[in-house]
Amino acid sequence: MLENDNYEKFKKDVLQLSKIDLNAYKEKQMRRRINTLITKNNVKSYDDYVVLLKKDKEKFNQFINFLTINVSEFYRNADQWKLLDELIFPGLIQKFGKNLKIWSAACSTGDEPYSLVMALSRHLPLSNIRITATDIDKQVLDTARMGLYNAKSIASVPDDLKKKYFTQVGNSYQISNEIKKCVDFKEHDLLKDTYPSGYHMIVCRNVVIYFTEEAKDKIYQKFLQSLVKGGILFIGNTEQIMNYRDLGFERKKSFFFEKI
């Protein structure tokens, strides 16, 4: 146990110091990890650690890197995002209007739904954009809500959007609150849970490759039911839907499939 064990104050100090809200993480796990880091630095209290972070830039960067997401990638497969920008989004807006209902399924650490918001911001005001983002793993959802990424993760984000929506914190990058507000993160199991409905677009990329053919078909059938007629399913470059016509889809372009 650390001396002066006031974690609530520590969270406020960290928020003030770095604009990172530790409330987005599960407290028990986060405290345990942070306590380990503090002990490694031979510090005896949260207050002393904050003092260290304020005066030592290297220790501050170490702390930020410790919180940073390292496994995600924004705008993965850039050519697909170009198609999304030039063809898919304009078509959906023309067909369904400005209040598109979009679901990012198996969203992991948030890179995909946040990429969708930024890409869509070229076509619509942020006030019109709402993305439902789901994953089976509570911890990655907590990490996604934090929205802190390393330079490699955001390397493919267009420069104007990077400049507009990311703030550098140490060696990492914090996504802006205005982008975060457009995403609603929820827990969902693709194999067990009821699927939501009425979506104009579903994005589920590089996930179903881990499932059996039977499970894949069930997931794609449920996605079809979740989409409105004319809605789009966007899958990953590592995936194929060989029987898309049997399922009720038409290949729109590349890895985009339209419900017919």
Q: Is-contact 248 260, C-beta < 8 A?
A: yes
pLDDT digits (tens, 9 = 90+) for 180-195: 999 999 999 898 899 9
Which domains, from first to last, does the chain contain? Answer: 7-67 (no CATH), 78-259 (3.40.50.150)
- 146 sits in which H/E element: helix 138-146
Query: The whole model's pTM is what?
Result: 0.78
Q: Residues 219-240: what's their mean pLDDT?
A: 94
Q: Is-contact 85 112, C-beta < 8 A?
A: no
* pLDDT value for 69: 52
Please name the residues in contact with 46: beta carbons below 8 A apart, sequence gap of 6 or more.
Answer: 2, 4, 5, 6, 7, 9, 10, 13, 38
Say how far apart CA 10 and CA 53 lie, in whole Å.
Answer: 12
Residue 231 has pLDDT above 90, yes or no: yes
* pLDDT value for 70: 46
pLDDT digits (tens, 9 = 90+) for 94-127: 999 999 999 999 998 999 999 999 999 999 999 9
pLDDT digits (tens, 9 = 90+) for 12-71: 999 898 877 787 666 787 888 889 899 999 998 999 999 999 999 899 888 877 776 545
- 179 sits in which H/E element: helix 177-180
**SS3 for 227?**
strand
Say how far apart CA 229 and CA 195 lie, in whole Å.
Answer: 16
* pLDDT value for 50: 95
How big is the chain by its Cα radius of gyration, in Å?
20
